Amino acid sequence: MPNILIRVPEGVFDAEAHGKLAKAATALAKTVEQGGDDPRHAALTWVAIDEVRQGHLFAGGNDPLDQIIPVVVFFHYPAGVLDDAARTEAARLFQDVISAARRPGDARPVATSVIMTEVADGAWGGSGRIWRLPDLARAAGYKHLQHLVTA
């Protein structure tokens, strides 16, 4: 049940690539969070792709677009869902799915910065109420956390 914000340079990825990124990020979240197989579980993964205007994204104080495609990812997920191995896998997978979304023929490497933030239990609000880890485990179908779900 993550929220994922992907910041990309304006114009580097077209609308089709945005759709691919959204679907790939959703699949990535299901994989690393061990989400359930019911399609309703995937609907809890929200992805926003934000284009940063040309000349507004810098690396080392310089515009790096002539050499690389810089992408910043903010991955917010409930505390207790991911361990170190899952976070490592998420970083690798974000690199892979964003690289795969490049336009054909764009040889610039993608450089990702992935910021992963655990949302403390009781600090996730949705649809007007607070969601705790057992609620999230039920709603998202987390396979490794079903022991937390009560009847």
Segment 73-115, tens digit of pLDDT: 999 999 999 999 999 999 999 999 999 999 999 999 999 999 9
CA-CA-CA-CA dihedral for 113, 102, 85, 150, to nearest 10 = 100
Instruction: For the chain, list the domains and their CATH numbers.
Output: 3-148 (3.30.429.10)
Is the CB of residue 137 less than 8 Å from the CB of residue 149? yes
Per-residue pLDDT of the chain (151 residues; tens, 9 = 90+): 899 999 999 999 999 999 999 999 999 999 999 999 999 999 999 999 999 998 899 989 999 999 999 999 999 999 999 999 999 999 999 999 999 999 999 999 999 999 999 999 999 999 999 999 999 999 999 999 999 998 6
The reported pTM is 0.94
* C-alpha–C-alpha distance, residues 73 and 113, integer Å: 6
**Residue that the structure tokens 């974000």 belong to:** 94
